[in-house]
Structure 1
């Protein structure tokens, strides 16, 4: 009996993984119009330690994951805080010198089905853990993932709290109210789930749904494909159709939105050229959880491009410098939204536009393999009223990431 217990423990520890992810992040947003806050500038250093155990050698395997994260202020003047890297005192506007948190997740596995409970970092089209600042956004709840059905990835989950990227406390989950799109509302009951069916490694379809109790429901149908036109040329369509409606007591007010998100990429060797479209229908904006982004092709830096009735066109070019400098990649993108309906913020046919640049170098080999330096720059403009959440700006972000696995 004792030998059996030791054997179970061996799998728990011998199959475990330890890593330390370090992130140095500089954020600099300068507003181009007169504002009470002319700029947001924060610089911080983050550390995220992760322990992922193996599973006990029992019919149902059991395990434990631990994540410890800490952030440290390097620079943040009181009149320029609010970039989301550091917690900020609501009264003094001072950024914290440091902050940290520890998350625990218990897990169980049977065949190809895994259940986790505790601190979660979901990654689905309807809810996902944002890593767009210093420390990742986390949720508290239960999630099941299964691959027991052939060619199918199934996800089911329930979360009741969120720990935002610049916070150490779990709080209720809220709908984003940027630009006054919805009334402020929160819930401690969120259900989500869905599946991806893979025809092969390059072609799949899927469906996901989420319910923020008494706020909104969202459903998304999706298709991802890679069409090989010849040995060096591929067409990559990425299609999503969202249906958004109010739920229960409608605490955020009316939610009535359908959204088509379509992106078509043509890839040839080191070049990729993309055309993307967002087409919004209905009386309201697209709803999503505050503190994060929406997981589709258009990753706006200074805006979300999800206002009521907004139509968006985006053109993008990517280049891989691997023939000259292995590990270096660059991107430039222009996006424009029009037909925006915000009568309380300037009109019923408003516009916004963003030009974004992104360059990233990842060390491909050697002792520093995996060290990544990423710089992002964006120029954003709109004709909204000055009280809008998104204001014309120039924005620069610099991130240096490295992960030790041991």
Structure 2
């Protein structure tokens, strides 16, 4: 028996929609197949004793648990690929009080001074990919000389804006964009981007790194925090293998920072020359660093970020006006002694000739020791345990003296 099929509007819709769905499914393959999902667990205890006379509180001690989930998609197929990333952060108070607050682990009520029980952030980032370029819009965590996010506490800081990363030219990585908001490491809210107590409408930046050869790379970046400061950066990184299994690495950095427009943060005038030379052989690495500030102000950098300087250490960064600072550092990897995963670091930084409103010859120093172990096998493989010990002292008009210990446990779960 023959059947007659009528071409109804519904069947026409199916006829034309089916190929479209197949095309969309194929286009979405990369979006799903190249996706990643992780959960980072960070347990952080920080104990800080203030040794200077007249300190507002004698001690700051807090303990918290952090959770950071990252979902990163791939890109859809086609000349312009589309992707979406998401990041959720949650910090929980395990122990704190109003008289032990202020470690940077937990936010606190500005009126009662009581640390909050929890705080969180959700960030979304849209991505567009074409050729060898990627445009990201939304929540960002840049790691560039003129803007570097902070990841030294329970949760990490984030910025809001857009950034274009391009590698269209062989050897050259270009980054340029605009940031308008920031979320501090111990905050659930987004604030206007700024420096110190001054805020701005936007921070614009552009620059890149060019690899001249596998051993030598040069960088240039320009950043402008509207009506606060303008900043230029020049950098050079060189690695040189030497006879006898030695390796020499040189990292030189120079910043020129000036005021911009009405200078909402006051006069900004700073030249920052810093660098580090490291000599490695087997499990040993010896490093020496210097840092020279010149000009009438301290080195400026964005709220919510870290300064890109070699003397950025556990507690301090030694970037006050006119400060001269040097550093000696030693690293050792215990894998050479049959204990893979165990590492040790110690360093000493000395700063002199600091100029502030209260002194023309301030001085400060910091000594750090860092012992870390990453479990290599078994059910807890990947679990990291880190102990950091800090001693900081100052004088000649500078009045901060601190003894500090940090215990950090970290573990990352990869879902796919």
The TM tier, using the shorter chain, reads over 0.9
Matches within 5 A, 1:331-346: 331-342=345-356, 344-345=357-358
User: Partner of 1:330 in structure 2?
Assistant: 344
**Secondary structure at 1:305 match in 2:** coil
2:149–2:306 CA contact under 8 A, matched in 1:
no
User: How far 1:133 moved relative to its partner?
Assistant: 0.7
User: Partner of 2:384 in structure 1?
Assistant: 372
Name the CA distance, whole Å, in 2 between partners of 1:366 and 1:61.
39
User: Partner of 2:9 in structure 1?
Assistant: none
Q: 1:366 to 1:296 in 2, by over 3 A?
A: farther
TM-score, normalised with respect to structure 2: 0.92
Report the number of matched residues.
394
User: Partner of 1:171 in structure 2?
Assistant: 191
Q: 1:160 to 1:100 in 2, by over 3 A?
A: same
User: How far 1:283 moved relative to its partner?
Assistant: 1.5
User: Partner of 2:311 in structure 1?
Assistant: 298
User: Partner of 1:382 in structure 2?
Assistant: 394
**Secondary structure at 1:225 match in 2:** strand
The equivalent position to 1:207 in structure 2, one of 220, 232, 245, is 220
User: Partner of 2:299 in structure 1?
Assistant: 286
2:176 counterpart of 1:150: no
User: Partner of 2:141 in structure 1?
Assistant: 121
Q: 1:115 to 1:73 in 2, by over 3 A?
A: same
User: How far 1:48 moved relative to its partner?
Assistant: 0.6
User: Partner of 2:404 in structure 1?
Assistant: 395
The equivalent position to 1:260 in structure 2, one of 252, 256, 273, is 273
User: Partner of 2:12 in structure 1?
Assistant: none
Cα-Cα RMSD: 1.3
Range with greater deviation from structure 2 (12-21 or 361-370): 361-370
Range with greater deviation from structure 2 (156-165 or 377-386): 377-386
**Secondary structure at 1:5 match in 2:** helix
User: Partner of 1:181 in structure 2?
Assistant: none
User: Partner of 2:131 in structure 1?
Assistant: 111
Range with greater deviation from structure 2 (143-152 or 287-296): 287-296
Name the CA distance, whole Å, in 1 between partners of 2:318 and 2:172.
32
User: How far 1:280 moved relative to its partner?
Assistant: 1.2
Unaligned runs of 5+ in 1: 177-183
**Secondary structure at 2:168 match in 1:** coil
Name the CA distance, whole Å, in 1 between partners of 2:363 and 2:260.
30
Computing the radius of gyration from Cα coordinates, the structure with the larger value is 2
Deviations 1:312-342 (A, max 9, x none): 0111111111122101111111110001112
User: How far 1:366 moved relative to its partner?
Assistant: 4.0
**Secondary structure at 2:272 match in 1:** strand
**Secondary structure at 2:142 match in 1:** coil
User: How far 1:384 moved relative to its partner?
Assistant: 5.2
2:368 counterpart of 1:348: no
2:183–2:304 CA contact under 8 A, matched in 1:
no
User: Partner of 2:70 in structure 1?
Assistant: 50
Range with greater deviation from structure 2 (358-367 or 16-25): 358-367
Deviations 1:38-81 (A, max 9, x none): 11111100001111011111210001001111010000111111
TM-score, normalised with respect to structure 1: 0.94
User: Partner of 2:156 in structure 1?
Assistant: 136
User: How far 1:185 moved relative to its partner?
Assistant: 1.1
**Secondary structure at 2:84 match in 1:** strand
User: Partner of 2:122 in structure 1?
Assistant: 102
Name the CA distance, whole Å, in 2 between partners of 1:371 and 1:37.
34
The equivalent position to 2:38 in structure 1, one of 5, 16, 19, is 19
2:370 counterpart of 1:358: yes
**Secondary structure at 1:6 match in 2:** helix
User: How far 1:200 moved relative to its partner?
Assistant: 3.3
User: Partner of 1:91 in structure 2?
Assistant: 111
2:362–2:397 CA contact under 8 A, matched in 1:
no
Range with greater deviation from structure 2 (365-374 or 26-35): 365-374
Name the CA distance, whole Å, in 2 between partners of 1:251 and 1:373.
43
Unaligned runs of 5+ in 2: 1-19
Q: 1:196 to 1:44 in 2, by over 3 A?
A: same
Q: 1:231 to 1:203 in 2, by over 3 A?
A: farther
User: Partner of 2:15 in structure 1?
Assistant: none
